[in-house]
């Protein structure tokens, strides 16, 4: 089978090793592009000092796969939820299956769930129904939320506002919106996840002056791989598949715009992720 979209060859010489063990809070490792070489992907993540991965579960099937992978690997954890794109598939029965997954010891968050009014693959009404049900599941389970929001900031704040007192913690993953939306989220005591979007000089520049407004103890970092390959990579790596081993490149860019050292950013974001997802302390240096 040809696989023209991704090239799994990642030259060691170009790999950047993080100063501090990093936590990638958004890795879609159940994506089909990782099927043929997952052991090598894991090995490279460890070589880059990315020691802990939160695998994103975007529907029931992927959430189950993510939980199974997490059982098999130390330092792997999983989220379980229904992405707003798939919200039209939400049923009560599906909600009950999700609730069962929240008892799994390696499932650490409810999500990815939320609102995406940018593409509307499910209608806004379907998205709100599925999101509301998952807010209730988060409140019931006491697990933190892993949120997705695109072009729906006002509605998202509204819905979260109603539930906030019943929820533990929530992170808006892959934050890409404006200052007003950011401040609204911070007012709700939410955490913010940043991806390689900030490395994109075409569409990420508005984030750069905003980064410093996110308190370090509310900030976490993620690849969202295989999506969102950072654009600050050396030229030779352009067009390749994104993977957890490349998280240090994102950390470097965020540290630059935040005005802190890469080590300080790594330490802070890892500590925050540890506390947010209630992980056991296993971010030892590896390899
Ligand atoms: Zn997302």
Distance 95 CA to ligand 1 centre (A): 20
Distance 30 CA to ligand 1 centre (A): 14
Question: What sign for the dihedral angle of Cα 149, 145, 88, 155?
Answer: negative
| Inter-CA distances, 195 with 73, 254, 261, Å | 23, 9, 18
Question: What does the pLDDT read at residue 14?
Answer: 62
Where does the pLDDT of residue 3 fall: very low under 50, low under 70, confident under 90, or very high at 90 and above?
very low
Question: What does the pLDDT read at residue 218?
Answer: 98
Where does the pLDDT of residue 215 fall: very low under 50, low under 70, confident under 90, or very high at 90 and above?
very high
142: left (phi over 0), alpha (psi -120 to 50) or beta: left
**3-class DSSP assignment, residue 200:** coil
Question: What does the pLDDT read at residue 282?
Answer: 56
**Does position 259 have pLDDT exceeding 90, yes or no?**
yes
Distance CA 255, CA 261 (A): 6
- Look at the pTM and tell me if it is higher than 0.85: yes
Question: What average pLDDT does the segment 51-67 reach?
Answer: 98
**Does position 169 have pLDDT exceeding 60, yes or no?**
yes
Distance 287 CA to ligand 1 centre (A): 30
**Does position 4 have pLDDT exceeding 50, yes or no?**
no
Distance 54 CA to ligand 1 centre (A): 13
Residue with tokens 């807010």: 135
Expressed in angstroms, the distance from the first to the final Cα of the chain is 33
Distance 39 CA to ligand 1 centre (A): 24
Distance 23 CA to ligand 1 centre (A): 17
Question: What does the pLDDT read at residue 135?
Answer: 98
**Does position 239 have pLDDT exceeding 90, yes or no?**
no
User: Cβ distance 114 to 148 under 8 Å?
Assistant: yes
Question: What average pLDDT does the segment 10-20 reach?
Answer: 74
Distance 44 CA to ligand 1 centre (A): 24
Looking at per-residue confidence, does 133 or 230 come out higher?
A: 133
**Does position 287 have pLDDT exceeding 60, yes or no?**
no
Instruction: Render pLDDT for 107-143 as a digit per residue (tens, 0 to 9).
Output: 999 999 999 999 999 999 999 999 999 999 999 999 9
In percent, the amount of the chain with pLDDT more than 70 equals: 93
**Does position 148 have pLDDT exceeding 50, yes or no?**
yes
Distance 46 CA to ligand 1 centre (A): 24
User: Cβ distance 75 to 282 under 8 Å?
Assistant: yes
Question: What does the pLDDT read at residue 13?
Answer: 52
**Does position 162 have pLDDT exceeding 60, yes or no?**
yes
């Amino acid at each position: 089978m040809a696989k023209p979209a991704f090239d799994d060859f990642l030259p060691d010489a170009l790999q950047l090793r993080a100063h501090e063990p990093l936590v990638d809070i958004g890795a879609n490792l159940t994506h089909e592009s990782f099927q043929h070489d997952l052991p090598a992907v894991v090995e490279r993540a460890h070589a880059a000092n990315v020691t802990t991965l939160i695998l994103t579960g975007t529907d029931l099937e992927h959430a189950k796969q993510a939980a199974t992978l997490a059982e098999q690997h130390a330092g792997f954890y999983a989220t379980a939820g229904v992405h707003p794109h798939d919200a039209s598939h939400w049923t009560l029965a599906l909600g009950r299956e999700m609730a069962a997954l929240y008892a799994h010891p390696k499932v650490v968050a409810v999500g990815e769930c939320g609102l995406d009014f940018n593409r509307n693959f499910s209608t806004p009404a379907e998205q709100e129904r599925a999101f509301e049900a998952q807010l209730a599941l988060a409140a019931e389970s006491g697990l933190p939320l892993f949120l997705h929001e695109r072009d729906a900031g006002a509605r998202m704040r509204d819905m979260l506002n109603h539930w906030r007192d019943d929820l533990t913690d929530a992170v808006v993953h892959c934050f890409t919106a404006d200052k007003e939306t950011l401040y609204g989220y911070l007012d709700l005591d939410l955490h913010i996840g940043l991806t390689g979007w900030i490395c994109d000089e075409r569409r990420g520049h508005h984030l750069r002056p905003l980064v410093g407004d996110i308190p370090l103890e509310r900030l976490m970092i993620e690849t969202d791989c295989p999506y969102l390959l950072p654009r600050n990579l050396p030229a030779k790596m352009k067009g390749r598949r994104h993977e957890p081993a490349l998280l240090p490149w994102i950390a470097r860019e965020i540290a630059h715009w935040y005005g802190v050292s890469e080590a300080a950013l790594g330490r802070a974001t890892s500590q925050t992720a540890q506390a947010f997802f209630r992980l056991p302390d296993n971010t030892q240096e590896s390899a």
